[in-house]
Each structure stands twice: as structure tokens, then as C-alpha cells.
Amino acid sequence: MAINRFKTILAAGVTLAAMDVSGVQAQTGSGAEPLGNAEHGAELWEYECAACHEMGRGAENGIGPHLTRIYGRRAADVDGFTYSDSIERMGRDGLRWTFRTLDAYIENPYALVSGTRMSYPGLPDAQDRADILAFMRQFSDMPANIPEAEPTARRIEIELPPEVLAIRGDREWGEYLASECTTCHQRDGAAMGIPSITYWPEDRFVVAMHAYKEGLRPHAVMQNVARRLDNEEIAALAAYFATIDD
Amino acid sequence: MEFKRRTVLGSMAAGAAILSAPAVLGQTRPRVVVIGGGSGGATAARYIARDSQGAIDVTLVEPSRVYYTCYFSNLYLGGFWELDDMGHSYGTLAARHGINVVHDWAVGVDRDAQTVTLAGGDTLPYDRLVISPGIDFREDSVPGWSVAAQNRMPHAYKAGSQSELLKAQVENMREGGTYCMVAPPNPYRCPPGPYERISMVAHVLSQRNPTAKILIVDPKENFSKQGLFEDGWARHYPGMIERVGPDFGGDIVSVDPEAMTVSIDGVVEDVDVCNVIPGQKAGRIAELAGITDDSGWAPAVPANMKSRMDDNVYILGDASAQGDMPKSGFSANSQAKVAANSIRHELTDARLFPARYANTCWSLIGTDDGVKVGASYEATDEKIASVEGFISQVGEDAELRQQTYEESIGWYNGIVADMFT
């Protein structure tokens, strides 16, 4: 049954995608880059997303929430779906689904929402993501009329070059820097009102902090903290919290 | 490693011997004395002792065996927090980190001899001294009020028995009576504190005594989070709160504790509860140590929180004059970590890291209606300067406000763990 619905949706999506591409091309003259290939995105959707998500007319929540009209929506606001605390918190903090935030989420769900229940390893290929997002866009309200800036604008994503991820953090420096964190985040990992940040894999910590720094993750305090940390300092913090001994 | 420390200690002790009385000769470890066991002092003592792993002898002088945080004392007033949950003891600092906790008053500092005198008669020598005494009140701030009147007209601006007293007065106020707050002039401890208190008093009165009135007599044109508070008061407590600012004489106020009256620019008002929060200055021991200036506060070096008067003395928290950071527990905790790193660097072979300062202040306006304001700071030559800030917005939805309140509880648990565990 789910498969049948999916096939119907897919067919509609392809048709809409064909219409939409021309609309977008009309905009490219004003400087916007073209969106991805929605037709290819529809194929990817089947392999990457459809096992858990439905989208389109009559779509229902399944393992994951339905994704109809995802663009412009606040995170974690589909009625009747039980979200992780982590994404609920991000929704309240102001996370909205735009091309940019969806792209970051699909690339690495845990980098954007640490405690997400979406069991998906991420899609590393930027073009594939653009294609899926172009496809998903057909199921949001009047996508061609959405103002160029958001949500259809091309992403200005956080790009972490390999050399940034490869920085070996200075743990002793991290311990000093961490004293700013432990005013709120507890060293023993207790999380009540404020999330735990201990024993994270270093790369996940680094990506999360850069996501705050770039404003991709919402939360005023964390954005403020992250914006004045440089690459070395973020790596130092990651090294310390990954191995903290309370 | 051990040998290296001795080398450092030896040269340092020799230096001290030349400059002053040989207080450190013959001892085995450099000595740090911390006066005041609040957010600045407890944090500094804990970080110095913990991170030096026994290489520094740390003594914490604090008269109270149980320390009541000022933060969340307003929530206690509003019925959202228990007095016991505001109280913290120093047992773990002694047992786990080897800090000598001395429950006594510091009554004198001899900066030439590098000693602290205690009320009990003991004299404590130090290589570095941290003074984190919080605030005292200016006696001349509100004519008619003095500390002797604090049972008639409580300040409740040092937590504990004063908080209990004010809570009892609010809860037992006559039906339709008037609670009056005389708000303090700048600068003072916890800028949003008086207005969070107004919110909590209004919360209690709106439930127990809904015809009661709240009068704020305020010498300031504006106050912290004003838009957020005024929006919240209009939503939660419509018609209950009146504020008289300096444009209507809020800066020309006197009180009569016996008659329970407040005079505002000559107009005498009868009140039922009068919460006088006087003008403030550095805690008295800072003045006795001779590190305060004409402002009544103790100027600090932005890069490391040393007193500008003495290279061996650090001044933390509310008592310090450092620039843009508000006088808050969060600020004191932040400053303490910078000072602790500087002290460990000077007394042992610890690395020195550049100063980093931050502050966030959460306030509760009504049930599940929390807001926050905060900023990051950097040390310039002149002062600790604000870099970038943020503040909650009017019109945020109820879920976000509830989350902000829950976050404040998380912060409370975080900072007291950072001070006392």
C-alpha cells in the first residue's frame, strides 16, 4: 500500500518537476543558480527516503513524518508525529526547513540535530542532495512563487574542508576553553534543560559547532559562543569533551 | 615535573623575600587565599585547586557554612524554587579538591606583608590573594533606610534569611495592600533582578491577593530587559504594577521604616511591604584592602582580573569594576576561570591562555515564561568590552519561553556544579 501511494506521488512529482524547471530557468537570468534535477531526485527519493517518509496528497506519518509542504515549515511541527526531544528543541529555537537547512540535514542529520531519531547516515554528494531537494520542492506550496532568497535560494552551506576536520585538538587548551561551557553544560553529562556535550565523537562535535557558528543551527547563546571560536579552538574543545574525565 | 615546580617556587619565594616580608620562605607550596565563597570565589578556589592537582595550597575564607545563591532567590519568592535548593555547602571543595575551607570573616588585608587577618584572630599568608566579596550597601543611598532597618524593610539582595523574610511579608500582606520596591541606581548586582522579583511578587499576589498593588520607585530611566518585562507584566498581571521613574520623582525617595511610608518627591505613600534595594558598592573587605577607588568598586585589569592597585591581588565578580560585564553570578564565574588560569601560570608551570568572558542572564516573568539576555566579551587595554549580544524577543511563542525557563534550570544546576562539586 505504501508502495502504491509512493508510485502515484512519484509520477505526479516528475510531472511537476518538468514544469518547474522552466520556471527556475527563467529566474537564472537574475543570478540564481538552477536547482537540482527533480527527475533524478525522484529516483533518489525512492532509494533514500521513501522507506520511512511519504509525501504528497494524502501522505501520512510512518516511521518518519510526512514531508508534504516541508519548505518553510518549522522543524518538528507535523501533528501526530512523535519527534526526538532534540529536534523539538531546535524547532522551538527557530529551525525552519529551507533549501539550506534541509541540505545540511540530509548531508549529515546528526551534524544539524545531534539527538535526531532519523536513522540515516547522510548523503555526501551535493548534486544528489540538490536533486532530491528539487524533487521535494514540488510538494511545497506554489514553489515557483516562493521568493528567491528563501527557501529556494542556493545554499550557503557550512563547508568543512578536510583539513579543518583533520585538526588535532589541543586538549589542554580545550580544557581551559571548556570552562566557558561548563557554566551551563554539566561535566558529568547530566542533561536537564541544557543538553549533554560529553563523550561526543570529535568530528560530530566539530561539525555541530561549525553549524552554530554559521548560523545553521539555531539558538542565540550557542551561536554567540561558537562565533568567536576559531577552527583550532573548536578542535581543542572537541578533543577535551570527547575524553573528559569528570 | 616535581623538580621543575620546586625550581619555580624557589625563584618566586626569593622574589617575594626581596620585595616584602619573607612570608613564603620555608613553605612547600605556593599559597592562594580566596576571600568569599560565592560565584567568583568558590569557582576560583575550585579551578585553582583542581587544575593544579595539589601544587597550590588553596584556602577559601567564607563566613557562611551554607551559601545561598542570589540567583533563583526570586523564584523562591514566587514559589517556583525551594530555599533548600538554593543552599550549597563547601564539603566537596574540601574533601575532593583539598581546599582549606575556613568559616570566618576576613577583617583585614596587609598587602605589604601579604597576609589576611580573620575575625577569629588567625593570620593567613598568601602569595596570591583573590577577593570576591560581592556587594555591600551604601548607607546614604535611600534616606531613612539603613541596614538596621532591614527587618522592617528587607533588601533581600543577599539571599538566605532576608529572602525568607520578604517572602513571608509578601504572603502575609493585608488584602488589597501595597508592595513597594525602591529599586537601586546603577551599577548594581544582577541588572534584571529587581524586575524579575516584581514579576514573582506579582505572580504570588495575583493568586493570593489579587486586589493588591505593586509600586516600583525607580531612580533609573530604563532597566534591563524592560520591553520583555513590561510586555510580560501586561499579559500576566494587568493593572497590578505601577512604576514611578525619575521623570515623576522616582529618584527623590526616602523611607520611614517605623511608619511604613515611602516619600516620593515629597508625596508620602503608605505601604504594607517595602523592599528597599539600596545603592551598592564593593564588599567591605575590598575597601579595607585598599583596592577600591572613589566609585566604591575595585578596578580590575581586563586581561586577567588582577586589581589595578596590586599585582598579587585579584578582584572578582560584583565588587570589581571591569567594564561592560554585568554584575552577575555568571560573570563572576567566568572571571574566576580567567583569574585561576593566570594564578596557576604565575605560581606553577601551567600554560597561560588568553582571557575569555561570557555572560547570560535568565529571568522568569510568569509560569513557564522565561527570557534571557547575554553577550560575549573581550579584554581590551581599557576595559572588558562587549563583543556581541543577544536578547529574547517580545512575542516569542509559549513553547520557546518554556524552553528558555527549562534552560535556566539547566544553567542553575550547571553553575552550582561548576562551583561546588
| Whether B388 and A227 lie within 8 Å, measured CB to CB | yes
Residue A23, pLDDT score: 33
Q: Shortest CA distance to B363 belongs to which of B180, B254, B220, B228?
A: B228
A173 in contact with chain B, both atoms CB, cutoff 8 A: yes
Angle (nearest 5°) at CA B392 between B391 and B398: 170
Looking at the partner chain, which of A94, A184, A223 has a beta carbon nearest the beta carbon of B414? A184
Residue that is written with C-alpha cell 498581571 in the block: B237
CA distance B359 to chain A (A): 10
Separation between Cα atoms, residue B387 and residue A83, nearest integer Å? 36
Residues of chain A contacting B372 with CB distance shorter than 8 Å: 220-221
Q: Write down all domains in chain A, each with its CATH number in brackets.
A: 2-145 (1.10.760.10), 162-242 (1.10.760.10)
Q: Is the pTM of this model over 0.95?
A: no
- Using a pLDDT cut of 90, give the percent of chain A over it: 32
A213 in contact with chain B, both atoms CB, cutoff 8 A: no
B258/B290 same-domain check: no
pLDDT at B2 over 60: no
Residue A99, pLDDT score: 85
Per CB distance under 8 Å, which residues of B are interface residues toward A? 47, 51, 330, 333-334, 337, 341, 351, 353, 356, 358, 360, 372, 374-376, 387-390, 397, 399-400, 403, 406-411, 413-415, 417-418
| Side-chain-side CA neighbours of residue A51 (13 Å) | 6
Residue B31, pLDDT score: 98
Task: Judge whether B410 lies within some domain.
Answer: no
A182 in contact with chain B, both atoms CB, cutoff 8 A: yes
| Whether A192 and B376 lie within 8 Å, measured CB to CB | no
DSSP-derived secondary structure for A70-109: -TTPBTT--TT----HHHHHHHHHT-B--HHHHHHHHH-H
Separation between Cα atoms, residue B289 and residue B113, nearest integer Å? 12
Q: Which residue range(s) make up the domain with B191?
A: 144-279
> Last residue of some domain: B254, B279, B304?
B279
Looking at the partner chain, which of A92, A177, A224 has a beta carbon nearest the beta carbon of B399? A92
pLDDT at B419 over 90: yes
| Whether B400 and A93 lie within 8 Å, measured CB to CB | yes
Section A150-157 average pLDDT: 37
Are the CB atoms for B113 and B127 separated by under 8 Å? no
Q: What is the pLDDT of residues B108-151, one digit of tens each?
A: 999 999 999 999 999 999 999 999 999 999 988 999 999 999 99
pLDDT at B406 over 50: yes
Q: How confident is the model at residue B330 (pLDDT cuts 50, 70, 90)?
A: very high
B150/B104 same-domain check: no
Please tell me the least confidently modeled range out of A37-46, B69-78, B236-245, B324-333. A37-46
Looking at the partner chain, which of B356, B358, B417 has a beta carbon nearest the beta carbon of A187? B417
B13/B127 same-domain check: yes
Residues of chain A contacting B414 with CB distance shorter than 8 Å: 182-186, 194
Q: Indicate the residue type of B317.
A: G
Dihedral angle of Cα B96, B97, B99, B105, to the nearest 10 degrees: -70
B125/B225 same-domain check: no
B229/B126 same-domain check: no
Residue A38, pLDDT score: 86
Task: Judge whether B411 lies within some domain.
Answer: no
Residue B121, pLDDT score: 95
pLDDT at A244 over 90: no
Are the CB atoms for B100 and B114 separated by under 8 Å? no
> Last residue of some domain: B352, B380, B395?
B352
B127/B169 same-domain check: no
pLDDT at A148 over 70: no
Residue A128 Cα distances to A24, A51, A55, angstroms: 18, 18, 18
Q: How confident is the model at residue B16 (pLDDT cuts 50, 70, 90)?
A: very low
Q: Is the peptide bond before A195 cis (omega within 30 degrees of 0)?
A: no
Separation between Cα atoms, residue A34 and residue A21, nearest integer Å? 8
What are the residues facing B264 on neighbouring strands?
Answer: B253, B267
CA distance B42 to chain A (A): 13
Q: Indicate the residue type of B161.
A: S
Section B267-276 average pLDDT: 97
Q: Indicate the residue type of B271.
A: V
Alpha-carbon torsion A82, A83, A84, A85, what sign? negative
B126/B246 same-domain check: no
Residue that is written with C-alpha cell 552554530 in the block: A212
pLDDT at A164 over 50: yes
Residue A29, pLDDT score: 33
Residues of chain B contacting A221 with CB distance shorter than 8 Å: 360, 372, 374, 390
Alpha-carbon torsion B13, B17, B21, B27, what sign? positive
Q: What is the pLDDT of residues B88-106, one digit of tens each?
A: 999 999 999 999 999 999 9
Residue A141, pLDDT score: 63
Residues of chain B contacting A193 with CB distance shorter than 8 Å: 406-411, 413
Orientation of helix A38-48 relative to helix A126-136, angle to 10°: 100
Task: Judge whether B406 lies within some domain.
Answer: no
B299/B186 same-domain check: no
B53/B155 same-domain check: no
Task: Judge whether B44 lies within some domain.
Answer: yes
Alpha-carbon torsion B248, B240, B222, B301, what sign? positive
> In degrees rounded to 5, what are phi and psi of residue A192?
-140, 105
For B248, the grid coordinates are: 515623576
Q: What is the pLDDT of residues B139-164, one digit of tens each?
A: 889 999 999 999 999 999 999 999 99
pLDDT at A156 over 60: no
Residue A34, pLDDT score: 56
Query: Strands B357-366 and B57-61: what pairing?
Result: unpaired
pLDDT at A2 over 80: no
The residues, any chain, with a CB within 8 Å of residue A17's CB and separated by 6 or more, are A38, A39, A41, A42, A134, A135, A138
For B190, the grid coordinates are: 544582577
Q: What is the pLDDT of residues B189-200, one digit of tens each?
A: 999 999 999 999
Q: Is the peptide bond before B194 cis (omega within 30 degrees of 0)?
A: no
DSSP-derived secondary structure for B199-256: HHHHHHHHHH-TT-EEEEE-S-S--TTHHHHHHHHHHHSTTTEEEE-GGGTTTSEEEE
Residue that is written with C-alpha cell 586581561 in the block: B303
Number of CB atoms found within 10 A of residue B11's CB = 10
Task: Judge whether B391 lies within some domain.
Answer: no
B249/B290 same-domain check: no
Residue A159, pLDDT score: 64
Residue that is written with C-alpha cell 542529520 in the block: A109
Residue B199 Cα distances to A130, B179, B240, angstroms: 49, 12, 10
Residue A158, pLDDT score: 57
Q: Indicate the residue type of B166.
A: L
Q: How confident is the model at residue B169 (pLDDT cuts 50, 70, 90)?
A: very high
Task: Judge whether B361 lies within some domain.
Answer: no
Task: Judge whether B88 lies within some domain.
Answer: yes
Residue A18, pLDDT score: 34
Looking at the partner chain, which of A173, A180, A224 has a beta carbon nearest the beta carbon of B388? A224
A183 in contact with chain B, both atoms CB, cutoff 8 A: yes
B57/B116 same-domain check: yes
Residues of chain A contacting B96 with CB distance shorter than 8 Å: none
Looking at the partner chain, which of A93, A179, A228 has a beta carbon nearest the beta carbon of B387? A228
CATH of the domain at B260: 3.50.50.60
pLDDT at A142 over 70: no
Q: Which residue of B has its CA nearest to A185?
A: B414
Separation between Cα atoms, residue A167 and residue A169, nearest integer Å? 6
The structural domain count of chain B equals: 2
For A224, the grid coordinates are: 554567540
Residue B107, pLDDT score: 97
CA distance A242 to chain B (A): 18
A245 in contact with chain B, both atoms CB, cutoff 8 A: no
The residues, any chain, with a CB within 8 Å of residue B176's CB and separated by 6 or more, are B209, B211, B212, B213
B43/B149 same-domain check: no
CA distance B375 to chain A (A): 7
Q: What is the pLDDT of residues B18-60, one digit of tens each?
A: 344 344 445 589 999 999 999 999 999 999 999 999 999 999 9
A187 in contact with chain B, both atoms CB, cutoff 8 A: yes
Residues of chain B contacting A77 with CB distance shorter than 8 Å: none
Q: Which residue of B has its CA nearest to A92?
A: B400
> Last residue of some domain: B239, B261, B279?
B279
| Length of chain A (residues) | 246
Are the CB atoms for A81 and A59 separated by under 8 Å? no
Q: Does the model's ipTM exceed the 0.95 cut?
A: no
pLDDT at A43 over 70: yes
| Whether B408 and A193 lie within 8 Å, measured CB to CB | yes
Section B173-195 average pLDDT: 97
Q: What is the pLDDT of residues A75-98, one digit of tens each?
A: 999 988 999 888 999 999 889 898
Residue B163, pLDDT score: 97
Task: Judge whether B394 lies within some domain.
Answer: no
Are the CB atoms for A126 and A154 separated by under 8 Å? no
A199 in contact with chain B, both atoms CB, cutoff 8 A: no
Please tell me what DSSP assigns to residue B260: T
Mean pLDDT, chain A, as a whole number?
78
Residues of chain B contacting A173 with CB distance shorter than 8 Å: 351, 353
The residues, any chain, with a CB within 8 Å of residue B43's CB and separated by 6 or more, are B332, B333, B336, B337, B340, B418, B419
pLDDT at B62 over 60: yes
Residues of chain B contacting A170 with CB distance shorter than 8 Å: none
Q: What is the pLDDT of residues A190-239, one digit of tens each?
A: 877 888 898 888 888 898 899 899 888 888 899 999 999 999 999 999 99
CA distance B187 to chain A (A): 24
Under DSSP, is residue B15 helix (H, G, I), strand (E, B) or coil? helix
Strands of B213-217's sheet in order across:
B241-244, B213-217, B178-182, B273-276
Residues of chain B contacting A179 with CB distance shorter than 8 Å: 47, 337, 418
Residues of chain B contacting A192 with CB distance shorter than 8 Å: 406, 409-410, 413
Under DSSP, is residue A29 helix (H, G, I), strand (E, B) or coil? coil
Which secondary-structure segment (H or E) carries B116?
strand B115-118
Mean pLDDT, chain B, as a whole number?
93
A74 in contact with chain B, both atoms CB, cutoff 8 A: no
State CA B344 to chain mean position distance: 24
| Whether A225 and B376 lie within 8 Å, measured CB to CB | yes
